Structure 1
């Protein structure tokens, strides 16, 4: 197995040797920002995707839960799980053909968003749960982010703290969500959209899956938003809850990006903060 000690633990390598004897590396798809290794391997006459987490990884557990509990409605539109070991933080899926929608002409095509809306509705329409402590936890999380290191200016931080601490307690209806719903996690193949990367999948309010699109692709493109909602079948955003979510997303983006040294993403986070406060 070519990908050995530099990227995978000895246990992960041994498991892959047992599951995929003779496999060779085609491409390394790892981002290099978080400790998850993503490799495309060829085993026999088919390609597979390997995801391996390091000791600090928290994404593989979420990804495995999504594959086991929530992806049935997406059969054929999401990678199929072939092998997994929870303790080793390792999974193997079938390679899903296609090109990333991000930076592809499909990213500007309303039909892409109509299909993405339909796929997301299929995910969200599965059984969920009511969480009585959701708003309390999310408020506390936003405060923790503001308490940590960041480069949000003091006046803006003061405005954020005043609003965040005023948020109400209360329950929220949660559904299975992708957690990073945007074109960098969509593939297009022969005009058909499919979905990858479930490392942030969890039970959350449905509207949380619209946050990334709202601050990126939908800006200045109401036609894309309209096509998405047409595919989804409704608009899941309650105005007050949506404002809270946009502010939480903006704060976490600015703080997380600063922490990992991603200056471009940090700038986006600061823009999101300003737009959410003034929206």
Structure 2
């Protein structure tokens, strides 16, 4: 029996379930974890999520424990996420048994406005879910949150600075503009700190949400954080495994609002600098092409960010549900 098979067997035992046949590997764009579809004797389907970490450094957060804890609380609150049924950590590795969600990845349904709208509604439902004690900006960990040392604004500014420093040796022609980018975002830190915060997916993209008709389920919460909900919204415009274009207006209609211009531009800057660095290490994705195009126009992008009013749309972010 394979290592994953051992873990799957233990998960099923813990959940009091029996498999009806061998587990089937599930494909997907993820590079860290493995997923298996298991059909049970009772006629149900469940998913075994086996965690991996193919890097030399130590995981900064115990993703397995974090996701088991967070998904349980989100599911209990009615959020559209899988529910954990069992968890196992052993010599063979760590794995969760999750409820199966119907549907197809939104990235494979990108020509359908109704699919985008369903994904937007589901993301808003998650953002509207309140999970104690996740009130402070930070990284979600098992049992709570590890606060960002500088708050939400300080975190974004520090990330922009980190990515700029990593990129500068490889793009010396951008050195002046990269220093300018750091200064511009540092100047917006107080405003970013006043943004509303909630539980974030923090890796929102069209292949991390399954759509089935008018409903959707958000998957893969291993990088969840607490911060500005519009960070996830902006990420839905930028995260691309393959070129599918920007979301239609139906996505924002489903979500129920648009990010303020200043927030959108700050999060775009952060994401594109990050992806420009990732492009040197990972297999090609469409988002790397978008990052390259963004950097070719970096000076003008920074001009637009400096001109973007850091207030303006803030009130629109606070709707009847408490933002």
| The two structures share one fold, judged by TM-score above 0.5 | yes
The structural deviation recorded for 1:97 is 1.9
The structural deviation recorded for 1:277 is 5.4
**Structure 1 portions without partners, runs of 5+:** none
Q: Which moved more, 1:49-58 or 1:199-208?
A: 49-58
1:15 is aligned to 2:7? no
- Give 1:256's aligned residue: 278
**Contact conserved, 1:81 with 1:93, CA < 8 A, in 2?**
yes
**Structure 1 86/148 Cα, relative in aligned 2: closer, same or farther at 3 Å?**
farther
1:129 is aligned to 2:135? yes
Q: Secondary structure at the match of 2:35?
A: strand
Correspondent of 2:94 among 89, 94, 98: 89
Partners of 1:71 and 1:155 lie apart in 2 by 48
**Contact conserved, 1:71 with 1:123, CA < 8 A, in 2?**
no
Q: Secondary structure at the match of 2:159?
A: helix
**Structure 1 203/276 Cα, relative in aligned 2: closer, same or farther at 3 Å?**
farther
Partners of 1:219 and 1:210 lie apart in 2 by 16
**Contact conserved, 1:79 with 1:96, CA < 8 A, in 2?**
yes
**Contact conserved, 2:104 with 2:210, CA < 8 A, in 1?**
yes
Partners of 1:80 and 1:229 lie apart in 2 by 26
**Contact conserved, 1:139 with 1:164, CA < 8 A, in 2?**
yes
CA deviation map 1:68-117 (0-9, x unaligned):
23344545x4322211247863211121122222223xx22222222222
Partners of 1:263 and 1:113 lie apart in 2 by 21
The structural deviation recorded for 1:194 is 2.9
The structural deviation recorded for 1:272 is 4.0
- Give 1:41's aligned residue: 38
Partners of 1:220 and 1:257 lie apart in 2 by 19
Structure 2 counterparts to residues 6-155 of structure 1, below 5 A: 7=4, 12=7, 15-16=10-11, 18-19=13-14, 20-22=17-19, 24-29=22-27, 31=29, 33-34=31-32, 36-44=33-41, 45-54=43-52, 56=58, 58=61, 59-74=63-78, 77-85=80-88, 89-104=94-109, 107-127=110-130, 129-131=135-137, 133-148=151-166, 153-155=171-173
The structural deviation recorded for 1:221 is 5.7
**Structure 2 portions without partners, runs of 5+:** 138-149, 302-323
**Structure 1 193/17 Cα, relative in aligned 2: closer, same or farther at 3 Å?**
closer
Q: Which moved more, 1:158-167 or 1:83-92?
A: 83-92
How large is the Cα RMSD of the aligned pairs?
3.3
**Contact conserved, 1:151 with 1:258, CA < 8 A, in 2?**
no
Q: Secondary structure at the match of 2:197?
A: strand
Q: Secondary structure at the match of 1:83?
A: strand
Q: Aligned pair count?
A: 267
**Structure 1 130/196 Cα, relative in aligned 2: closer, same or farther at 3 Å?**
closer
The structural deviation recorded for 1:39 is 1.6
The structural deviation recorded for 1:244 is 1.4
Partners of 2:151 and 2:235 lie apart in 1 by 24
**Structure 1 126/40 Cα, relative in aligned 2: closer, same or farther at 3 Å?**
same
Partners of 1:200 and 1:60 lie apart in 2 by 10
TM-score when scaled to structure 1?
Answer: 0.78
**Structure 1 156/46 Cα, relative in aligned 2: closer, same or farther at 3 Å?**
same
**Contact conserved, 1:246 with 1:276, CA < 8 A, in 2?**
no
